[in-house]
Amino acid sequence: MDKTKFIYESYEISEDDEKIYFHYNFEIENISKFSTIHEILKKDFKWKHLKSNVLRNLVFNIGMVEAISYYKATCAKEFVIKCGFLDEAQSKWFRKLFYYGLGEFRYVNKIDTSEEDFVEFKSEGEKIDLEESETLDTSENKVLVPVGGGKDSNVTMELMKKTGNEIFPFLINGKDNSYECVEVAGFDKSQIVEVNRILDKNIIELNNKGYLNGHTPFSAMVAFLSYTVSYMLGIKYIALSNENSANEANVEGLNINHQYSKSLEFENDFREYYEKYLKAGNTNYFSFLRPISELQIGYLFSKYPKYHKVFKSCNLGSKQKPWVWCGECPKCLFVYTILSPFIDREKMVEIFGSDLFQKENLKDTFVELCGFGEIKPFECVGTYSEVRWAVSKVIENYLKEGKELPVLLDFYYKNYKLEDTTYDKLKTYNSENNLPAEFEKLLKESL
């Protein structure tokens, strides 16, 4: 571990006529300084509590998550907090987030350390007094829905509209297709809660010099930012779209999970943390899709063809304008696989630009997605069992119709045993979730 100190120097809240700003300053001692800005677009929303201690505390805590983007460059053992205070339990909470949220990062960069030894937080700032703070004006009929542009959040938006609640789509650095999905859902731009997250380019320079780089727990940032925005707007519910499949590890035996901050474990941890340390009223953060699998979400998504031309979730393709399916990565192949039992081949080819099951070069990725490789690809993909079920179902459909199997499906058919598809995975339901009763009823009825 690096002996250089990481310093969380300061944070600040400001505003002008158009935006609310959260400013953050960090430093890797003797190496580089960093500034991050979060810009929240005011629009015509009624923003509250801008001078409250609760908001100051929320913004300070967001900074702890934002720090990970820069901390990872050296993974300094000593993390000095000059602008706030964490008690022992809070320090333990954030140490867990850093350790498991950077699980993939540690694995890829071959960092061998325990959770206890990974990072030590030293608080030099003052604790914020929340005892005299304003309480949150919540509204039963307001729901914040974070939107990423993929199938999951589109399903959540579509089903949430059936509740009659006032829905607020929430975008962080929204891309073109995310706005298109929101528009297809029936919302205009004035209804979107938008945050621009501007990272310091100094981190790119460090990466180019060979400092450590890799995956960070972005969904933890979504959690803290969505909770803060809900406090400022008086929104009671935050409906995430993280599914049950996110709980499965990528590397068995090491508890390395690309989707750690989308897991139920993190969700439960965050709910406990905000109840004890953030105290922003009775805002309820939960994942609406937690009881069901990627396979079930694929089934639900297939019912909404209006989204099929605009949804995207390819990380490589997101770097292009407009956002595309690259057709070469694990995420593309996974989404193609999980939707194939429910959408016919011609439509799938139209969506993705080609038949991904015909791509011989994707065989190793295909094997890993099915659970026959060393690890599961480091992407937001489903469980081995549901991928195998989907593949088996599609193979059965081809055989019933007397059609020749595409390359990857033919490989599977000749080398692995087909799953028993008479067991209906579309009827499974995980009772370990945090859904309020009225939302749980809606989800069950949709299945």
> For 76, how many CA atoms within 13 A lie in the half-sphere containing its CB?
23
Question: What is the rounded CA–CA span in Å between residue 54 and residue 278?
Answer: 7
pLDDT band at 315 (very low <50, low <70, confident <90, very high): confident
Q: Are residues 365 and 327 in the same domain?
A: yes
User: Mind listing the pLDDT tens digit for each residue in 44-73?
Assistant: 999 998 999 999 999 999 999 999 999 999
Domain count, the chain: 2
pTM for the structure as a whole: 0.94
Q: Are 349 and 337 in contact (CB under 8 A)?
A: no
Q: Does 349 lie in the same domain as 240? A: no
pLDDT tens, 265-277?
A: 999 999 999 999 9
pLDDT at 381 over 90: no
100: pLDDT confidence band, cut at 50, 70 and 90? very high
H helix intervals, 234-293: 264-273
Do the domain assignments include residue 202?
yes
Burial 202-220 (b: 16+ CB within 10 A, else e): bbeebeeeebbbebbbbbb
Distance CA 278, CA 57 (A): 7
Q: Give a yes or no: residue 434 inside a domain.
A: no
404 or 428, greater pLDDT: 404
Contact 176, 321 (CB under 8 A): yes
DSSP string, 47-62: ---TT-HHHHHHHHHH
Q: Is the pLDDT of residue 250 over 70?
A: no
* 220 and 348 fall within a common domain: no
Compute the distance between CA of residue 52 and CA of residue 48 in angstroms, rounded to an integer: 9
Q: Is residue 403 part of a domain?
A: yes
| Exposure b/e, 172-199, CB count within 10 A at least 16 = b | bebbebbbbbbebbebeeebbbbbebee
Residues 127 and 208 in one domain: yes
Residue 105, helix vs strand vs coil: helix
Least confident of 45-59, 298-312, 395-409, 412-426: 412-426
Q: Are residues 203 and 326 in the same domain?
A: no
Q: Is residue 72 part of a domain?
A: yes
| CB of 215 closer than 8 Å to CB of 258 | yes
The helix (run of H) or strand (run of E) holding residue 431 is none
Share of the chain above pLDDT 90, in %: 77
State whether 119 and 248 are in the same domain.
yes
- 236, 351: one domain: no
As a whole number of angstroms, the distance between CA 27 and CA 33 comes to 4
Are both 55 and 123 inside the same structural domain? yes
Give residue-wise pLDDT tens across range 110-159. 999 999 999 999 999 999 988 655 556 666 789 999 999 899 999 999 99
**What mean pLDDT is reported for the chain?**
91
The pLDDT value recorded for residue 354 is: 94
Residue 348 has pLDDT above 60, yes or no: yes
- Dig out the tokens for 70 from the structure: 């820069």
- Residue 114 and residue 224 share a domain: yes
Range of the domain at 117: 6-136+190-287
Q: How confident is the model at residue 7 (pLDDT cuts 50, 70, 90)?
A: very high
Q: How far apart, in whole angstroms, are the C-alpha atoms of residue 323 and residue 313?
A: 9
* Residue 46 domain-assigned (yes or no): yes
- What's the whole-number mean pLDDT along residues 232-247? 86
Do 274 and 365 reside in the same domain of the chain? no
Query: What does the H/E/C string look like for 300-359?
Result: HHHCCHHHCCCCCCCCCHHHCCCCCCCCCCHHHHHHHHHHCCCCCHHHHHHHHCCCHHHC
- How many C-beta neighbours within 10 Å does residue 110 have? 6
Token readout for 74 is: 């050296």
- Whether the CB-CB separation of 334 and 369 falls below 8 Å is answered with yes
The pLDDT of residue 238? 97
Q: Tell whether 246 and 326 lie within a shared domain.
A: no
Residues 120 and 229 both lie in one domain: yes
Share of the chain above pLDDT 70, in %: 93
Indicate whether 59 belongs to any domain.
yes
Residue 152 lies in a domain: no
